Amino acid sequence: MAAPLDTDVAIETPEHIVFHYRLAGPARRALAYVVDLVVCYGVVLVIALVVVLAFMGDRTTKDLGTAAKAGSGVVLLALFAAQWIYFVVLEARTGRSVGKRVMGVRVVTTTGRPIGWRSAALRNLLRAADALPTGYLVGFASMAITSRFQRVGDLVAGTMVVVPESARVATPIELSPPAKPKELATLPEDVALDADEREAIELFLRRRLTLGRAREHELASMIAGPIGERLGFVHPDPARLLAIVYDRAVNVGRGEAPPSSYRARTARKPKDEQPWR
């Protein structure tokens, strides 16, 4: 793995497993806020329209004033809920307002856990401070100088906004078609790649299907030359060269490895015992 970028936060679980959360930046959060504004004030507007229409329809009756006034009281209550209650309830219950859901972000505590009522209430009460003097300038300034993009409300509540990883398995990289013995003639038994090389090749192999033929060739030649030279391995197709090298480097010595990557003289017998059920 590459060193974590500075927009990642490492969370250590009680099981001593470390995983990383990607932080949501100001732009994504601002967009989520705009969505929330539209949702909140849209609902208030709809209520106001209903009240106005009811009032218009009621014009002939004597009681019309009463209904209209009561209706405007309800509109004011809705406005209050939009400003102070909406965010607290949604974030406390699900960790995300509608806007955050749309933008794919979530509020968690700085220890990576879901937030409760207190944190949700605090971070949204402090919105009043973040919104000062206008357009959330205090909030942006605070996000700029804190390491986790926290606005003042986040600091007080001990929360941060993250972009959760989407849970989807990618298929492992496989050499296809399988290497022919002729191709492997010059490939050494031990292929040592350092972490950077490995990651570069892996990224390339995952991307290669989306690249044009010429671009694929161009990218592969940049790195295939030096690597092939170092290993004393030659292959006419640089992309194929990388795939074969990667396959051997990754799979050599492992159980159920394809024959192309398997060592002829086994230094280590694959264990019969299966460590993972």
Partner 1 sequence: MALASTLTERAFAERRQKSWDELDSLSRKSTQHGLRALAADEVSDLPSLYRDVCADLAAAQAARYSAPLVDYLRGLTATAHGILYGPHAARDRDGSVAVRRTWLVAFPRAVRKRWRAMLLATGLFFIPLAIGLVLTLRDPSFAFRVAPEAMLRPLADAYARGFDEGRDAGEGTMMAGFYVYNNVGIALRCFALGIFGGLGSAFYLVQNGLTIGAILGYVATQGAGANIGTFIIGHGSLELGAIVLSGGAGLSLGWSIVAPGEQTRLASLQSTARDILVIVAGAAVMLVMAAGIEAFWSASSTPRPIKLTVGGSLFFLVVAYVLVAGREGPAAAPAEAQR
Residues 248-267 that bind partner 1 (CB under 8 A): 250-251, 253-258
Nearer to partner 1, 177 or 276 (CB): 276
Strand partners, 8: 22
Q: Are 263 and 252 in contact (CB under 8 A)?
A: yes
Which residue matches tokens 């879901």?
A: 114
For residue 21, state whether it binds partner 1 (rule: CB under 8 A). Answer: yes
For residue 169, state whether it binds partner 1 (rule: CB under 8 A). Answer: yes
The site string for partner 1 over 60-79 (x = CB under 8 A, - otherwise) reads -----xxxxxx-xxxxxx-x
Nearer to partner 1, 182 or 274 (CB): 274
Contacts for 265-272: CB closer than 8 Å, 24+ residues apart: 265/189
164 DSSP 8-state letter:
P
Min separation Cβ 126 and partner 1, Å: 5
Number of residues in contact with partner 1 under rule CB under 8 A: 77
Length of the chain: 277
For the segment 89-148, give every residue that binds partner 1 (CB under 8 A).
94-95, 108, 112-116, 118, 121-122, 125-129, 132
Give the residue, chosen from 31, 89, 158, 237, that forms a contact with partner 1 under the rule CB under 8 A.
Answer: 158
For residue 234, state whether it binds partner 1 (rule: CB under 8 A). Answer: no
Nearer to partner 1, 1 or 3 (CB): 1
CA dihedral 227, 233, 238, 240 (to 10 degrees): -120
For the segment 184-223, give every residue that binds partner 1 (CB under 8 A).
195, 198-199, 202-203, 206
CA dihedral 241, 244, 250, 256 (to 10 degrees): 180
Burial class (CB in 10 A: 0-12, 13-18, 19+), 112: middle
